[in-house]
Amino acid sequence: MINKTGIATREDLRKVMPPEERLERGACVIVECFERIPCNPCVDACPKGAIEIKGNINNLPEVDFEKCTGCGLCISSCPGLAIFVIDRNYSSRTTTTNHDHGLVMLPYEFLPLPKADDIVEGLSREGKKLCDARVVRVLLTKKQDRTAIISILVPRDLVMEVRNIRIPE
């Protein structure tokens, strides 16, 4: 239970997951926001209007997965670092990787920042190492909060599990 451990359960995640057929079409946002607090920067950040908070500003954000393009512009807007973009089919559309990897775009607020092609450790929500991951891109935002968006290549079956990285020493 997230209220006791701070870690989303499978049941919590089922509530925010897009339909399977949407995941097969490409990059898609996953908003792992489970706290009812007055917050809405993700709504304003989405250029397609795919994220909405209905009614009271304390309500949880909802995603219209048909509108979402997986651009990732919402990732750095979230003060709770709860927004990710996953693309399970990323490697099948590229010629430089094998076809059993997917892409995870995640917020990152530590220094030093990794660089493209660095190998980092992909971590679970609990902070446990799940895999080695290759950094595909590091995007520095122009916003004042300076949250970077790190895109990493992970085994396809781990795109819903890897939620942070650690740079090995």
CA separation for the pair 79, 107 (Å, rounded):
10
- Examine the pLDDT at 144 and tell me if it is beyond 80: no
Given a contact cutoff of 8 angstroms between Cβ atoms, the answer to whether 8 and 32 are in contact is yes
Provide the pLDDT for residue 5.
75
pLDDT tens by residue, 115-131: 999 999 999 999 999 99
**And the tokens for 148?**
């970077």
Q: For the residues of 58-108, what is the DSSP string, one character each? A: TSPPEE-TTT-----TTGGG-TT--EEEEETTGGGG-SSS-TTEEEEEEEE
Confidence bin at 98 (pLDDT 50/70/90): low
Strand partners, 138: 150
What is the pTM for the complete model shown?
0.91
Give how far Cα 9 sits from Cα of 14, 16, 56, 69, Å.
9, 11, 25, 26
**DSSP run (H or E) holding 157:** none
pLDDT tens-digit series, residues 28-70: 999 999 989 999 999 999 999 999 999 999 999 999 999 999 9
Name the pLDDT band for 166 (thresholds 50, 70, 90).
Answer: very high
Q: Is 32 helix (H, G, I), strand (E, B) or coil?
A: coil
Per-residue pLDDT, averaged over 77-95, amounts to: 84
pLDDT value of position 99: 66
Domains contained in the chain, number:
1
Placement of tokens 């048909």 in the chain: 66
Q: What is the pLDDT of residue 91?
A: 72
pLDDT above 90: residue 95 = no
Q: Among 4-8, 23-27, 60-64, 85-89, which stretch is predicted with the lowest mean pLDDT?
A: 4-8
**What is the percent of the chain with per-residue pLDDT over 90, rounded to a whole number?**
75
What is the residue whose two structure tokens read 């009271």?
56
Are 156 and 100 in contact by the 8 Å Cβ rule? The answer is yes
Residue 39 structure tokens: 């917050």
Domain span at residue 29 reads 2-166
